[in-house]
Amino acid sequence: MKKFLLTTAAVALTTAISLADAKADAAKADVKVTITGNDQMKYDKGEIEAKSGQTIAITFKNIGALPKEAMGHNVVILKPGSDITKFAIGGVANKAGDYLPLDPALAALVVAKTKILGPKEEETIVFKAGAAGDYPFLCTFPGHFGIMKGVLKVK
């Protein structure tokens, strides 16, 4: 029992540190963007802009009320030229893995991602903008990518 408690404390501490790091990184980011997703299966932004080499902090908020199992959302940013239809369909069966494709060729397309978020949940991700190009982003919850998609334009 003692060992279990120690392990739990260590995990909690590690989590607290990584959350603090993420917050510090987000505060220092060159580009800060908030995107929302709602029960109408819509993002409030279809385009994000950044310059190559800049750090980008994206805070994604699910502002809907429907349960996560019915209307969960995420934001997954892919490499330029990625086929989002192929990517989304490749992940449809992977409920336990946030509907991300397990196929290594498709998994390798991911630049940055949030978890699938339920109502009122939010997550901030921080990453560096790569080479200039159009980086497609989408929600991988089954059936959402047709509407929930956009482009990160890196100049």
Residues at the site binding Cu ion, with contacts judged by CB under 5 A: 73, 139, 141, 144, 148
Q: Min. distance of Cβ 117 from Cu ion in angstroms?
A: 9
User: Least CB distance from residue 11 to Cu ion, whole Å?
Assistant: 29
| Closest CB 154 distance from Cu ion, rounded Å | 23
The residue sitting closest to Cu ion, measured at its beta carbon, is 139
The residue assigned the tokens 């069966």 is 93
Between 1 and 40, CB nearer to Cu ion? 40
Residue closer to Cu ion, measured from CB, 129 or 139: 139
- Tokens coding 1: 């029992």
Nearer to Cu ion, 43 or 154 (CB): 43
Nearby residues of 153 by Cβ (< 8 Å), 6 or more positions away: 47, 48, 49, 50, 134, 135
What residue has token string 């982003």? Answer: 137
SS3 46: coil
Contact 117, 60 (CB under 8 A): yes
**Residue 88 or 129: which CB sits closer to Cu ion?**
88
Buried b (16+ CB within 10 A) or exposed e, 32-63: ebebbbbeebbbeeeebebeeeebbbbbbbbe
